[in-house]
Amino acid sequence: MNNSAFIKIRYLDGIRYARAVLKGCQETVSHIKELNKINVFPIPDKDTGSNLKKTFQHISLKELFLGASLRQSSRKVAEIVQSSALGYSGTVFAEFFSGFKEEFKNFDRIFVEDFAAAAEKTVERVYASFENPVEGTVLSVMKAWAGHIRNLVSETDDFYDLLKESYKEAVLALKKTPDQLDVLKKNGVVDAGGKAFVCFLEGILNYIEKGEVTYEFRKAKYVDQRLESEKKKQQQIFCVEFCVRKENLNRADLVKELNSLGSDLMFYGSLNFAKIHMRAQDPEKILSCVSKFGNITSERVLDCSTELPSEKKKPLAIVSDTTCDIPEKYVEDHDIYFVPVKFHVKDRVYTDKVDIIPEEFYDILESSPEIPKTSKPSVKDFTKVYINLLSHYRSILSIHLAGALSGTFQTAFQAAKNISPQKITVLNSKNLSVGLGLIVLEIIESLKKGIGYEAVLKKAEKAVRDIEIFIGIPDLKYLIKGGRVTKTKGLLAKILNINPILSLDSEGALIPIGKARGRKKLEEKVLSLVFGKIQKEGAHENQGFLTAVAHVNALESGKKIAERIKQETKKIPVMIMNASPALGAHAGPGTIGVAVL
Do the Cβ atoms of 318 and 399 come closer than 8 Å? yes
Distance of alpha carbon 432 from alpha carbon 583, whole angstroms: 8
Q: Taking 90 as the threshold, does the pLDDT of residue 66 lie above it?
A: no
Q: Report phi then psi at 352, rounded to 5.
A: -60, 135
- What residues does CATH 3.40.50.10170 cover in the chain? 309-341+376-464
Helix axes of 408-419 and 379-390: crossing angle, nearest 10 degrees: 50
CA distance 472 to 529: 11
530-544 pLDDT tens trace: 999 998 876 656 567
pLDDT digits (tens, 9 = 90+) for 547-559: 999 999 999 999 9
Query: d(Cα 189, Cα 48) in Å, to the nearest integer?
Result: 14
Q: What is the mean pLDDT of residues 243-263?
A: 94
Domain 309-341+376-464 has CATH 3.40.50.10170: yes
Banded pLDDT at 228 (limits 50, 70, 90): very low
Give the three-state DSSP class for 353: coil
Q: What is the DSSP letter of 559?
A: H
- Right CATH for 467-596 from 3.30.1180.10, 3.40.1190.20, 3.30.2010.10, 1.10.3720.10: 3.30.1180.10
Which residues in the chain are classed under CATH 1.25.40.340?
11-210
Cβ count within 10 A of residue 60: 16
Euclidean distance between CA atoms 529 and 535, whole angstroms: 10
Q: Are 570 and 541 in contact (CB under 8 A)?
A: no
Give ranges for CATH 3.30.70.260 in the chain: 236-306
pLDDT band of residue 192 (cuts 50, 70, 90) is very high
Residue 349 has pLDDT above 70, yes or no: yes
Of 441, 457, 451, 400, residue with least CA distance to 545:
441
CB 110 within 8 A of CB 118: yes
The highest-confidence range among 22-26, 472-476, 535-539, by mean pLDDT, is 22-26
- DSSP conformational letter for 452: -
Distance CA 424, CA 316 (A): 10
Q: What is the C-alpha separation between 358 and 577, in angstroms, rounded?
A: 10
Burial of 205 (0-12, 13-18, 19+ CB in 10 A): middle
| Pair 308, 238: CB distance under 8 Å | no
Strand partners, 131: none
Taking residue 220's Cβ as centre, other Cβ atoms within 10 Å add up to: 8
The helix (H) or strand (E) run that includes residue 115 is: helix 112-128
State the span(s) of the chain assigned CATH 3.30.1180.10.
Answer: 467-596
pLDDT tens digits, 317-343: 999 999 999 999 999 999 999 999 998
- Are the CB atoms for 56 and 25 separated by under 8 Å? yes
Q: Find, among 103, 92, 11, the residue nearest to 55 by Cα.
A: 92
Is the separation of the CB atoms in 501 and 529 below 8 Å? yes
CATH superfamily, domain 236-306, is: ACT domain (3.30.70.260)
3-class SS letters over 368-390? CCCCCEEECCCHHHHHHHHHHHH
For the segment 160-185, what is each residue's pLDDT rounded down to a tens digit?
Answer: 999 999 999 999 999 999 999 999 99
CB 146 within 8 A of CB 120: yes
Residue 186: count of CB within 10 angstroms of its CB: 10
Instruction: Write the single-letter amino acid at 578.
Output: N
User: What is the reported pLDDT for 58?
Assistant: 78
pLDDT tens profile 482-521? 665 656 665 555 655 678 899 999 999 989 999 888 888 9
pLDDT digits (tens, 9 = 90+) for 76-87: 888 888 877 777
Would you state the pLDDT for residue 216? 42
Highest mean predicted confidence (pLDDT) among 5-9, 414-418, 574-578? 574-578
CATH of 11-210, picked from 3.40.1280.10, 1.25.40.340, 1.10.10.10, 3.10.20.90, is 1.25.40.340
pLDDT in tens, 127-137: 887 767 889 99
Instruction: For residue 467, give every residue at least 6 positions away whose Cβ sits within 8 Å of its Cβ, in sequence order, or none.
Output: 431, 435, 438, 439, 595, 596, 597
